[in-house]
Amino acid sequence: MSKKIHLIVAARPNFMKIAPLYHALKAEAWANPVIVHTGQHYDINMSDNFFTDLKLPEPDIHLEVGSGTHAEQTGRVMIAYEEILKKETPELTVVVGDVNSTIACAMACAKLHYPADSKISHSRTKIAHLEAGLRSFDRDMPEEINRILTDTIADVLWTPSIDGDENLKNEGVSPEKIVRIGNIMIDSLEMMRETIELQNVCEEFKLTKSEYAVVTLHRPSNVDNPVKLKEICTMLNEISELIPIVFPLHPRTKKNLEECGFMQLISDNKQIVLVEPQSYIRFMNLVFNCRLVITDSGGIQEETTYIGTPCLTIRPNTERPITITQGTNQLCKIGDVNNQVQKILSAKTSTDYKAPDLWDGHAADRAVQSIKQMLE
Ligand code: UD1
C-alpha cells in the first residue's frame, strides 16, 4: 500500500517550495502525495496562478480558511485540519516555511493520536518541516514565532543551509532530526528556467532589460505603519529618478496605501509601474531581467542570491544570513536605499558567481530520501 503524505500549502511563498516535492513524490510508487490547501491565500493572483505555473494539480483538499487575525486564522486551520486528519490519517504531513498555516497544521498533527486499530504505522501523523532552522532572532515577526514553534514539534527538520542546522543545534534539537536538503525553491526555479527565460514581461511594461528595478514590499513592519509607508513612498519616488521601477502590489500593501490615502503619491509617477501580484513565471522573468531588487520578502532574498542580482532588503534583520555572507543581499534602512542604489548602478555587474552549497535543483530528491528512511 502506498504511503499517504499530506503536503500543506497556504500562502504564496509555499507553492514554489511544495511543487518540486509533489512532483518528486508523484514519481515514487510507494508514495501518495495529497495536496492540502488551507486557503490562507485565495486570490487568483496570490494562489491559482502558481498552481498553473508550477504544474500542480488542483488541491485534493481545500480548507478555505481565508483571512483573519493571527489567532482566528491559526485557529480555523487547526480546527479544519484536525477533522481532515481524523478522516485521512496520513503517515506524514509536510509543512513548509513560516506562515500561520504551518504551525497550525503541525500542531494539529502533534496532538492528535489515532485509535490503536487505525491503519498507520505510528500513533499519530509524523511532521516534516520544510525550510527548518531559519531564525531572524526577531520575535516581533509573526513568522519567527511560527518557525520556532514548528521546529520544536516537527519530527524531521529539513534545512536549506548550514546556518539552519546550527540554529537548531543551539536550541537543543537532537542532530538526528536535522537533515540538510538544501534550498528547494531553487528546484522550482531550475524546473521552470526555460519557460521563465522565454518571457519578456518588462517589455509589456515599457521597461528595458537590465534598466529597471523590481520592488516588492508586504511585511507588516513596513506597510502597516503609516509613517513608514509614507517614507517608503517618498523613497520610491526618489529612486525612480535613478532607475524606473516595477512594483507588483501585494494585497496588504495595496489596501494600506489606499486606506492611508498614499496611493496617489506613487501612482501619479510615470517612472513607477504599479501592477497586480505577478504569477511565478512572470515575476521570475522580471527578476531575471532587472538591474536590482528592493524587497522585504524572504524568498526573493534567496532567488536573487541564486541568480546573482543585487538585492536591498528593507528590514533590520534576516532569517537568511547566507544571502548576505555568500550572496548579493544587503539589509538596508529606508533612508539608505538611495545611496545603495547609486552604488549598485555605478558598479560593474558581476558574472563571477557561486550559489550556496546544496542550492542545486536537487533538494526535493533529498527530501524524498529522507521520507523514505523515515517511513520505512
Ligand atoms: C502571509 C504570511 C507571510 C508571507 C506572506 C506572503 C503569515 C503570518 N504571514 O502574510 O509570512 O510572507 O503571506 O504573501 O502567515 N489577501 C488578499 N488575497 C489573498 C490573500 C490575502 O486580498 O489571496 C489580503 C488579506 O485579506 C489581508 C492581506 O491580504 O488583508 C494580508 O494577507 P495575510 O494572509 O493575512 O498576510 P500576508 O501579509 O499575505
Tens of pLDDT, residues 321-331: 999 999 999 99
Q: Measured from the CB, is residue 258 less than 6 Å from ligand 1?
A: no
* pLDDT tens digits, one per residue of 302-341: 999 999 999 999 999 999 999 999 999 999 999 999 999 9
Which residues are within 8 A (CB) of 222 and not within 5 positions of it... i.e. 6 or more apart?
228, 229, 232, 296, 314, 315
Show the cell assigned to 51: 498552481
Give the integer Cα–Cα distance in Å for 129 and 120. 20
3-state secondary structure of 139: coil
**Overall average pLDDT of the 68-93 stretch:** 98
pLDDT tens column, 65-74:
999 999 999 9
The answer to whether the CB of 46 is under 6 A from ligand 1 is yes
Give me the pLDDT at residue 166, please: 98
What region does 31 belong to: left with phi over 0, alpha with psi -120 to 50, or beta? beta
Which positions ≥6 away from 317 have C-beta within 8 Å? 136, 137, 138, 331
Ligand 1, closest atom to CA 45? 23
218 catalytically annotated: yes
Residues above pLDDT 70, as percent of the chain: 99
pLDDT digits (tens, 9 = 90+) for 34-76: 999 999 999 999 999 999 999 999 999 999 999 999 999 999 9
% the chain with pLDDT above 90: 95
- 139: confidence class by pLDDT, cuts 50, 70, 90: very high
Cα angle vertex 12, ends 237, 289, to 5°?
A: 50
270, 346, 360, 278: which is closest to 310 by C-alpha? 346
Q: In a mutational test of the pocket of ligand 1, which residue from 49, 101, 252 has the highest number of ligand atoms less than 8 Å from its CB? A: 252
pTM, full prediction: 0.97
Catalytic residue among 129, 218, 250, 362: 218
Q: Which atom of ligand 1 is nearest to the CA of 97?
A: 11
pLDDT at 353: 73
Q: Which atom of ligand 1 lies nearest, measured to the CA of 255?
A: 30
* 291 pocket-lining for ligand 1 (C-beta < 6 Å): no
Cell numbers at residue 376, please? 520505512
Pocket test for ligand 1, best of 8, 12, 40 (most atoms within 8 A of CB): 40
Instruction: Using pLDDT thresholds of 50, 70 and 90, give the confidence band for residue 348.
Output: confident
Task: State the pLDDT confidence band at 151, using cuts at 50, 70 and 90.
Answer: very high
Pocket test for ligand 1, best of 44, 73, 99 (most atoms within 8 A of CB): 99
How confident is residue 87, by pLDDT bands cut at 50, 70 and 90? Answer: very high
Give CA–CA dist 240/212, Å, rounded: 9
Nearest CA to ligand 1 atom 39: 252
> Using only C-alpha atoms, what is the Rg of the chain?
21
Report yes or no: 9 and 18 within 8 Å, Cβ to Cβ: yes
CA distance 167 to 163: 6
Distance 349 CA to ligand 1 centre (A): 34
Spatial distance between the Cα atoms of 24 and 367, rounded to a whole number of angstroms: 9
Q: What is the pLDDT of residues 188-244, one digit of tens each?
A: 999 999 999 999 999 999 999 999 999 999 999 999 999 999 999 999 999 999 999
Nearest C-alpha neighbor of 25 from the set 7, 47, 12, 49: 7
Residue 77: all three cell numbers together: 486551520
pLDDT over threshold 90, residue 106: yes
Residue 128 confidence class, pLDDT cut points 50, 70, 90: very high
SS3 at position 205? coil
